[in-house]
């Protein structure tokens, strides 16, 4: 064994570590937690559990558990060595964390195509080859495999990564140490490792663990050739014995990895003694003079180096990154420089400078830049304590300061401590400052903290500088310049502000994926600290039930004396209850969230929440306070890390739903119901996480049902309850159960509509959404019926007719919404694409569907400009085809006395005419020919609403040359006789569909009555029209103005009778004998005498009635 003394090889040559997945020397604690949390069965290999994860949403939770795992002591011992390279199959990210220290930079390599940054012979830059990725990295190609296919790809990548460690790299003097490796329970198979091991010489490979010789012949032969040396102990145990026997001094190895360590003070360079350096570097990073000789940046490395800077800077400063310009400037830097100059100028008693800011504000990177800039001045010695260094020895820091003052004549030592403390933890900065000053040392401590409460600020003496999370214009420009120069992509500063929502945390998280790990960890740590604070604050206390505050809580339903409710949840979950809705950007009413907890509260609950920077408060429209997280991204990070098990989120959501009420008891609170509806929409079928939440929709409907039975609901919650029922039912496997649930959802809607009609509350747009949901339920029933082995066509036909009826109702309330048409489209396509149905039924349904779309064009012309409208229409045509309907059904349907065939043929005849724009004379003539065709079958066509709508549309095109509502303030060339024909046609349509609002047709009818001089009737018509719902942006548009039969503008005379406010004048029109308004602020601002005569008044029509369109401005003077 002496011939191959491992200790000597470690001291004299390159050393490489191959670390397997068994480095805990027991079952992986992370894998065990995963199995327990998600109730997973054991797998053939321990880590195969990852290949069975179906839902990637659980990954953030696993990451959080991995970050909180305690590092095994054996790994800490191994990490102390100055390794030249590490190859590992572990995927939990612990190796990277443990091997990071004050004197070594870590470069994690995940892809065989990537260049290994730094030299494998350089112990200051440790390349860790993560063969199978890691749970902690989100970058493409760096995460661990989650499927069998991904595993095969990762395995191929791993083989290529291992091949980079050739004999040219390792050299004959290099040593490979294999530890924590069990080939029978490791993704790294022996066959993958053999090419590396077999190329080595005698004594180069040292394996620690249970012997493999008895299990593999090839390995046995390599052992017999003494290429592999086997040890029954672990490598950590070996190192401990060697150090005890003084055969190995790891600290000496670390110090001697370079010849000297020097530090500059007042432009003079001094050598740091070995003992001083070794002890100090275990507690802090010493900014020695090696920072002045950093490598230059090669063009082919800049993207990789930039990514590494983003990835690593949250752990410890990457000094090269500051030199190469990877850092972007912050507005706060000038303030910090002034504070530093002020404190350094003091003779002795300096105050610590604390940079305050929320997690993700960029404090760590900023402090690294402060240290780097101060170092370049060569005036003061600087030590930097990163967050990963814990348990700092004040005595060691003191000894280093004493050496600097005595030997280097240092006037001041600058200590930058990036502990990112929270509240009372700030005391450690003050304690270190006082400890060093009491020993006569002159220091300046610069630290970091989360935002501190006012109580903390008043309790300690320090210089505070608050870091703004919002991105300024200058910062946005700086980010843009750095990003465009080094990321390999291009973006504008405007895009940066938009993507990042003007928030530096959000911008970095979305734009710079390598930074996500540290950003995410910061938010999670802050959330945990807040939880501890809340848990301490929300203690049950004896409070005065007669106090004003207590009475207010009782009124809000937060505090109820002597109430015992075991269902109330643990107080430390308050943050989760706020974050669940906050991840969707929602503010939750404060009274509501507090009501979810124990009924007895200390009077400072709301105040304590308000002190925590993680939360944001606003006062709602009704004076009620609402609370949320700082932004939705942070809330989502917290929820994903702690509540990735969606059932836990559902439990919170259900609890919130069941606590909806107001101060007077179980009566609907509009503010809380608004929040509930927004929450339901966020988790519903149209939400961004609909697929994840879908299996839990039945739980939501049960909670809504309970709430409804307690008398708390409105039409919006009924709509959501029905939607959740229908969507959940669609994914059930039992057909009868599925159909029953869809019908149940429909009955909810039917009952609510009946209630609104009875209470005469049915004249509002929300009725349209209820009818849309009803139609959707009917469509879902049609889909289920079509899936039966034997299809009853009568059932399909009846359901479809009812669906069309509900769509028509929906469109009366929502004429500008495409939703109703979309329901008609997909439901019709389900029928048309079914091969079991007869052509007869398909023909009727096709004609009905396209007729609905055509009617929509008349009532709301803007539809024809919507891409989705035209796509649906094209799908209908492709599914059955206008050609087929027009040629096959015409004769048969004509004989049966139905208008479907007539309509289909007429529509087919107009297929090449663009009917949504101004027509040419040729097209107008062709439209006349189609009208003649329809007149031939007048007896059928004039008794079919579909045909009548088409006749009206074509008639108007022929008379005016453009569609209805084509433009503003149009004149038309229509005779009295033609107006009479238009009026008769509209009356016939209204007579055949009296239940429809027909807003556009009634608008044209009122104009027709005006032109026919039927004063009493047109006044009634316009009044009725003003009460019909129509989108306001269209309602106020004056589409037509009064015109003569030759198409010229018709002028009227009149006078002003009054003014209403500063925008409206009232005119009396002599020829009409009525008063009408003129909305014109410019006109009203001018001086006009009441009663003045005007001779050139133009009159127009919109959905509000008759109004003055234009007048001369001199008439009243």
- The string of pLDDT tens digits covering residues 1020-1077 is 999 988 887 666 566 788 999 999 999 999 999 999 988 888 888 999 999 999 999 9
Backbone Cα Rg of the chain = 39
Cβ–Cβ under 8 Å, residues 415 and 441: no
Confidence of residue 184 (pLDDT cuts 50, 70, 90): very high
Q: Is the pLDDT of residue 295 over 70?
A: yes
CA distance 671 to 669: 6
- pLDDT exceeds 70 at position 309: yes
Q: What is the per-residue pLDDT across 942-995, written as a single tens digit (0 to 9) for each?
A: 999 989 999 999 999 999 999 888 889 999 999 999 999 999 999 999 998 876
Query: Would you say residue 555 has pLDDT above 80?
Result: no
Q: How sure is the predictor about 2, in pLDDT bands with cuts at 50, 70 and 90?
A: very low
Q: What is the pLDDT of residue 558?
A: 46
Integer CA distances (angstroms), 335 to 75, 331, 338, 380, 465, in order: 43, 8, 5, 20, 8
pLDDT the model gives residue 666: 39
CA angle 449, 432, 389 (to 5 degrees): 60
pLDDT of residue 896: 53
Residue 257 above 80 pLDDT? no
Q: Which of 2-16, 27-41, 179-193 has the lowest mean pLDDT?
A: 2-16
Confidence check: pLDDT of 43 > 50: yes
Listed residue (117, 171, 108) closest to 141, CA to CA = 108
Question: Residue 533 — pLDDT band, cuts 50, 70, 90?
Answer: confident
Look at residue 542 in the predicted model and tell me its pLDDT: 42
- What tokens were used for 639? 């929820």
Band (pLDDT 50/70/90 cuts) for residue 880 is confident
Can you give the pLDDT at residue 532? 78
**Cβ neighbour number for residue 597 with a 10 Å cutoff:** 22
Q: What is the DSSP pairing of strand 15-19 with strand 105-109?
A: unpaired
Lowest-confidence region among 472-481, 879-888, 934-943 = 879-888
pLDDT tens digits, one per residue of 355-377: 999 998 999 999 999 999 999 99
CA 86 from centroid of its chain's CA atoms? 37
Give yes or no for residue 815 having a pLDDT over 90: no
Nearest-CA neighbor of 315 among 413, 423, 388, 395? 388
3-state secondary structure of 108: strand
User: What pLDDT shows up at residue 817?
Assistant: 87
Lowest mean pLDDT among 152-161, 546-555, 795-804: 546-555
Q: pLDDT > 90: what percent of the chain?
A: 46
Residue 104 has pLDDT above 80, yes or no: yes
Look at residues 31, 63, 57 and name the one whose alpha carbon lies nearest to residue 44: 31
Is the C-alpha dihedral spanning 642, 648, 654, 659 positive or negative?
negative
Least trusted range by pLDDT, from 44-58, 449-463, 938-952: 44-58
When pLDDT is averaged across residues 217-231 and rounded to a whole number, the result is 94
pLDDT in the model for residue 198: 87
Say yes or no to pLDDT of 894 above 70. no
Q: Are 910 and 954 in contact (CB under 8 A)?
A: yes
Higher pLDDT, 94 or 623: 94
What was the pLDDT predicted at 117?
53
Of 564-573, 742-751, 921-930, 952-961, least confident by mean pLDDT is 564-573
Spatial contact of 91 and 134, defined as CB atoms under 8 Å apart:
yes
**Mean pLDDT of the chain, nearest integer:** 86
Residue 199's pLDDT band (cuts 50, 70, 90): confident
Q: How far is CA 479 from CA 341, 643, 655, in A?
A: 27, 33, 43
What is the model's pLDDT at position 503?
Answer: 86
The yes-or-no verdict on residue 50 having pLDDT over 70 is yes
52-84 tens-digit pLDDT: 777 777 888 888 888 888 889 999 999 999 998
Residue 1017's pLDDT is: 94
User: What pLDDT, on the 0 to 100 scale, is given for residue 567?
Assistant: 40
pLDDT score for 171: 79
User: Is the confidence at residue 634, as pLDDT, over 60?
Assistant: yes
Read off the pLDDT band of 406 (50, 70, 90): very high
Residue 816: the pLDDT is 83
Q: Give the C-alpha separation, 600 to 589, whole Å.
A: 18
Q: Cβ distance 867 to 819 under 8 Å?
A: no
Q: Are 655 and 581 in contact (CB under 8 A)?
A: no
211-223 average pLDDT score: 93
End-to-end CA separation in angstroms for the chain: 119
Global model pTM greater than 0.85: no
CA atoms of 487 and 481, how far apart (whole Å)? 10
Tell me what pLDDT residue 965 has. Answer: 87
Residue 663 confidence class, pLDDT cut points 50, 70, 90: very low
Question: What is the average per-residue pLDDT within 1105-1113?
Answer: 86
A 10 A CB-CB count for 667 gives 11
Is pLDDT at 676 greater than 90 in this prediction? yes
- Would the pLDDT of 118 be above 70? no
Residue with tokens 């979810």: 596
Taking the C-alpha atoms of residue 613 and residue 450, their distance in angstroms, rounded to an integer, is: 8
Decide if pLDDT at 667 tops 50: no
**What tens digit of pLDDT does each residue of 725-759 get?**
999 998 888 888 899 999 999 999 999 999 998 88
């Amino acid at each position: 064994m002496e011939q191959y003394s491992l200790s000597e090889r470690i001291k004299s040559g390159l050393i490489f570590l191959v670390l397997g997945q068994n480095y805990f020397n027991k079952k992986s604690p992370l894998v065990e937690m995963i199995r327990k949390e998600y109730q997973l069965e054991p797998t053939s290999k321990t880590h195969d559990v990852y290949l069975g994860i179906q839902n990637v949403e659980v990954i953030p939770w696993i990451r959080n558990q991995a970050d909180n795992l305690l590092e095994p002591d054996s790994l800490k011992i191994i990490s102390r060595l100055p390794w030249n390279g590490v190859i590992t199959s572990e995927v939990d990210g612990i190796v990277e964390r443990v091997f990071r220290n004050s004197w070594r930079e870590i470069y994690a390599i995940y892809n065989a195509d990537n260049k290994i940054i730094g030299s494998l012979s350089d112990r200051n830059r440790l390349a860790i080859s993560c063969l199978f990725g890691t749970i902690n990295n989100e970058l493409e190609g760096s995460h661990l495999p989650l499927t069998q296919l991904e595993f095969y790809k990762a395995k191929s990548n791993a083989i290529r990564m291992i091949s980079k460690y050739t004999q040219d790299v390792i050299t004959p003097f290099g040593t490979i140490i294999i530890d924590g490796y069990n080939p029978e329970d490791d993704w790294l198979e022996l066959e993958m490792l053999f090419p590396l091991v077999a190329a080595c010489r005698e004594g180069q490979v040292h394996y620690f663990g249970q012997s493999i010789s008895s299990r593999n012949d090839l390995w046995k032969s390599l052992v017999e050739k003494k290429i592999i040396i086997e040890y029954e102990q672990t490598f950590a145990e070996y190192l401990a014995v060697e150090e005890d026997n003084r055969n190995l001094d790891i600290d000496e190895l670390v110090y001697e990895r370079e010849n000297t360590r020097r530090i500059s003070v007042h432009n003079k360079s001094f050598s740091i003694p070995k003992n001083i350096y070794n002890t100090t570097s275990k507690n802090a990073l010493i900014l020695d003079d090696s920072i002045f000789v950093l490598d230059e940046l090669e063009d082919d490395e800049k993207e990789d180096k930039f990514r590494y800077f983003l990835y690593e800077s949250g752990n410890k400063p990457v000094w090269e990154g500051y030199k190469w310009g990877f850092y972007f400037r912050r507005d706060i830097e000038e303030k910090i420089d002034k504070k530093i100059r002020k404190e350094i100028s003091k003779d002795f008693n300096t105050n610590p400078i604390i940079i305050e800011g929320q997690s993700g504000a960029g404090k760590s990177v900023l402090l690294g830049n402060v240290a780097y800039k101060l170092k370049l001045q060569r005036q003061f010695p600087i030590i930097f304590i990163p967050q990963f260094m814990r348990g700092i020895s004040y005595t060691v820091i003191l000894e280093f300061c004493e050496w600097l003052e005595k030997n280097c004549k240092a006037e001041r030592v600058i200590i930058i401590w990036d502990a990112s403390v929270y509240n009372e933890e700030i005391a450690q900065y003050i304690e270190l400052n006082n400890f060093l000053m009491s020993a006569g040392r002159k220091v300046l401590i610069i630290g970091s903290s989360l935002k501190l409460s006012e109580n903390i600020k008043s309790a300690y003496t320090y210089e505070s500088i608050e870091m703004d999370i919002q991105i300024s214009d200058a910062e946005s420009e700086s980010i843009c310049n750095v990003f465009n120069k080094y990321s390999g992509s291009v973006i504008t500063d405007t895009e940066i502000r938009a993507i990042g929502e003007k928030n530096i945390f959000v911008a970095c998280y979305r734009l710079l994926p390598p930074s996500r790990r540290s950003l995410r960890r910061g938010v999670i740590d802050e959330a945990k600290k807040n939880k501890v604070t809340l848990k301490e604050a929300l203690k049950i206390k004896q409070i005065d039930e007669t106090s004003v505050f207590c009475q207010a809580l009782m009124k809000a339903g937060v505090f109820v004396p002597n109430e015992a409710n075991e269902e109330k949840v643990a107080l430390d979950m308050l943050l989760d209850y706020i974050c669940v809705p906050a991840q969707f950007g929602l503010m939750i009413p404060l009274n509501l969230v507090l009501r979810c907890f124990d009924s007895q509260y200390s009077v400072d609950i709301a105040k304590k929440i308000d002190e925590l920077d993680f939360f944001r408060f606003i006062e709602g429209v009704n004076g009620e306070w609402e609370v949320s997280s700082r932004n939705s991204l942070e809330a989502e990070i917290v929820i994903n890390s702690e509540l990735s098990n969606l059932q836990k989120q559902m439990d919170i959501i259900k609890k919130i739903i069941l606590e909806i009420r107001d101060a007077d008891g179980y009566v609907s609170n509009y503010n809380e119901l608004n929040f509930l509806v927004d929450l339901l929409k966020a988790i519903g079928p149209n939400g961004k996480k609909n697929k994840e939440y879908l299996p839990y929709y039945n739980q939501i409907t049960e909670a809504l049902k309970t709430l409804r039975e307690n008398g708390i609901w409105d039409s919006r919650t009924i709509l959501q309850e029905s939607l959740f029922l229908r969507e959940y039912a669609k994914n059930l496997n039992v057909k009868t159960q599925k159909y029953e649930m869809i019908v149940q959802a429909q009955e909810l809607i039917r009952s609510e509509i009946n209630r609104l009609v009875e209470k005469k509350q049915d004249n509002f747009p929300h009725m349209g959404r209820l009818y849309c949901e009803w139609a959707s339920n009917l469509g879902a029933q049609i889909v289920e019926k079509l899936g039966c082995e034997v299809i009853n066509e009568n059932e399909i036909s009846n359901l479809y007719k009812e669906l069309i009826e509900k769509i028509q109702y929906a469109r009366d309330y929502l004429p500008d919404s495409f939703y109703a048409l979309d329901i008609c489209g997909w439901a019709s396509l389900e029928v048309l694409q079914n091969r079991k149905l007869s052509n007869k039924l398909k023909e009727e349904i096709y004609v009905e569907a396209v007729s609905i779309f055509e009617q929509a064009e008349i009532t709301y012309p803007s539809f024809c400009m919507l891409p989705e409208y035209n796509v649906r229409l094209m799908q209908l045509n492709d599914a059955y085809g206008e050609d087929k309907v027009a040629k096959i059904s015409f004769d048969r349907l004509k004989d049966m006395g139905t208008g479907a065939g007539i309509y289909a043929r007429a529509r087919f005849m107009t297929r090449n005419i663009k009917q949504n724009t101004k027509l040419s004379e040729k097209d107008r003539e062709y439209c006349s020919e189609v009208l003649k065709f329809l007149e031939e079958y007048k007896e059928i066509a004039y008794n079919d609403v579909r045909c009548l709508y088409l006749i009206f549309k074509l008639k108007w095109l022929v008379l005016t040359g453009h569609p209805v509502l084509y433009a503003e303030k149009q004149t038309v060339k229509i005779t009295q006789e033609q107006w009479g024909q238009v009026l008769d046609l509209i009356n016939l349509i209204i007579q055949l569909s009296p239940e429809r609002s027909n807003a556009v047709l009634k608008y044209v009818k009122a104009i027709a009555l005006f032109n026919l001089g039927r004063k009493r009737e047109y006044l009634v018509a316009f009044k009725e029209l003003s009460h019909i719902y129509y989108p306001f942006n269209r309602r106020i548009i004056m589409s037509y103005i009064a015109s003569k039969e030759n198409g010229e503008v018709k002028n009227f005379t009149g006078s002003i009778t009054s003014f209403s406010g500063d925008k409206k004048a009232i005119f009396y029109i002599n020829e009409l004998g009525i008063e009408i308004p003129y909305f014109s602020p410019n006109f009203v601002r001018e001086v006009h005498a009441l009663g003045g005569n005007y001779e050139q008044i133009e009159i127009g029509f919109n959905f509000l009635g008759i109004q003055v369109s234009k007048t001369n401005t001199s008439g009243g003077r």
